[in-house]
């Protein structure tokens, strides 16, 4: 019988956010795979957890995942924890989880704190639909591509950022997305926790006068439906109906489908489009 992999969430600051179940699981498993054993030791000591630990982090996640998988297939139960929050959310755990799923080994989540969820639910912005981007790529080409994709994003956007990169990231977001509202959640669940809701331009001004401190979660307002509709109209409003039709016909639509699409774009009936075309 193979063992079980547990993805155990740990506090993102306040130790009181550790769940009873998380403590029990960490005491019962055969091994705990930690993102950084030095960071995890105080947490484990605080809850009197004496289970053996091993390191499992960004730089050994592929090689070490293979070793952990062998132990699981041999019947061991293993818990994965990160420095803070939920494994797999911008932290190690995703690769091992995928390997275990492929090998038909049980993967059990032990839910708890997650900075992204804490930030979006307390942001004052819509949290019904959101897009989680974690840290933007460091590679300039990939970063530009992601920012370009986010321009049309109507969902609330969640981004992580370190204090020493915050000003540059706010500037890039302002240039790419326009002056949207942003909630800046800092040091979540810790002593100096802070939430600021303002426009991106206001955030740029604020941090010119105040040095960023602590880890940030940026929650950015998505593009409104009115903006999206205005942009869609701008694509066809200078086109004649014939040119508008040709746009859809060139995409493989038949005439009936194209007329329906043109009518929807222009906010008129399909009959109106037909009458205009036969004229």
Which domains does the chain carry? 4-113 (3.40.1010.10), 116-223 (3.30.950.10), 226-278 (no CATH)
Instruction: Give residue 37's pLDDT.
Output: 93
For residues 17 and 189, is the Cβ–Cβ distance under 8 A?
A: yes
pLDDT at position 235 over 80: no
For residue range 14-53, what is the model confidence (pLDDT) as tens digits? 999 999 999 999 999 999 999 999 999 999 999 999 999 9
Q: In what order do the strands lie in the sheet with 216-220?
A: 130-135, 156-161, 216-220, 181-186, 194-199
Instruction: Give residue 92's pLDDT.
Output: 82
Instruction: Give residue 232's pLDDT.
Output: 64
- Mean pLDDT is lowest, of 68-72, 162-166, 257-261, for 257-261
CA distance 250 to 193: 54
pLDDT at position 277 over 90: no
CA distance 215 to 96: 26
For the residues 54-73, what does the mean pLDDT come to?
91
Q: Where are the alpha helices (H) located in the chain, listed in sequence order? A: 20-28, 37-46, 61-73, 94-102, 115-121, 140-150, 166-177, 200-209, 225-236, 241-249, 255-266, 270-278
Q: Which residue has the tokens 């000591």?
A: 45
Q: Which residue has the tokens 């080994």?
A: 105
Dihedral (CA of 55, 58, 63, 67) sign: positive
Closest CA to 178 of 156, 152, 197, 159: 152
For residue range 176-205, what is the model confidence (pLDDT) as tens digits? 999 999 999 999 999 999 999 999 999 999
How would residue 173 be classed by pLDDT, with cut points 50, 70 and 90?
very high
Closest CA to 57 of 30, 29, 80: 80
For residue range 136-170, what is the model confidence (pLDDT) as tens digits? 999 999 999 999 999 989 999 999 999 999 999 99
Instruction: Give residue 76's pLDDT.
Output: 97
How would residue 246 be classed by pLDDT, with cut points 50, 70 and 90?
confident
pLDDT at position 273 over 90: no
- pTM of full prediction above 0.95: no
Closest CA to 101 of 242, 28, 5, 12: 5
pLDDT at position 65 over 70: yes
For residue range 84-140, what is the model confidence (pLDDT) as tens digits? 999 988 888 888 999 999 999 999 999 999 999 999 999 999 999 999 999 999 999
How would residue 13 be classed by pLDDT, with cut points 50, 70 and 90?
very high
Instruction: Give residue 219's pLDDT.
Output: 98
């Amino acid at each position: 019988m193979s063992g079980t992999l547990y993805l155990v969430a740990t506090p993102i600051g306040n130790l009181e956010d550790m769940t009873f179940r998380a403590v029990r699981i960490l005491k019962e498993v055969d091994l705990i795979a930690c993102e950084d054993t030095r960071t995890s030791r105080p947490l484990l000591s605080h809850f009197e957890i004496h289970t053996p630990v091993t390191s499992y982090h960004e730089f050994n996640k592929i090689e070490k995942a293979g070793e952990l998988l062998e132990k699981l297939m041999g019947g061991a139960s293993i818990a994965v924890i990160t420095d803070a929050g939920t494994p797999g959310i911008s932290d190690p755990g995703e690769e091992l989880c995928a390997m275990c799923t492929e090998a038909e080994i049980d993967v059990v989540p032990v839910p708890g704190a997650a900075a992204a969820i804490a930030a979006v639910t307390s942001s004052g912005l819509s949290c019904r639909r959101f897009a989680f981007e974690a840290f933007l790529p460091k590679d300039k080409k990939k970063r530009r591509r992601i920012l370009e994709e986010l321009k049309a994003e109507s969902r609330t956007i969640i981004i992580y950022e370190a204090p020493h990169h915050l000003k540059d990231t706010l500037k890039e977001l302002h240039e790419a997305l326009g002056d949207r509202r942003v909630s800046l959640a800092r040091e979540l669940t810790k002593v100096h926790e802070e939430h600021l809701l303002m426009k991106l331009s206001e955030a740029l001004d604020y941090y010119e006068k105040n040095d960023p401190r602590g880890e940030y979660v940026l929650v950015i307002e998505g593009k409104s439906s009115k903006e999206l509709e205005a942009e869609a109209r701008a694509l066809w409003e200078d086109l004649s109906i014939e040119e508008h039709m040709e746009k859809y016909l060139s995409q493989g639509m038949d005439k009936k489908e194209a007329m329906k699409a043109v009518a929807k774009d222009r906010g008129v009936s399909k009959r109106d489009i037909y009458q205009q075309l036969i004229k």
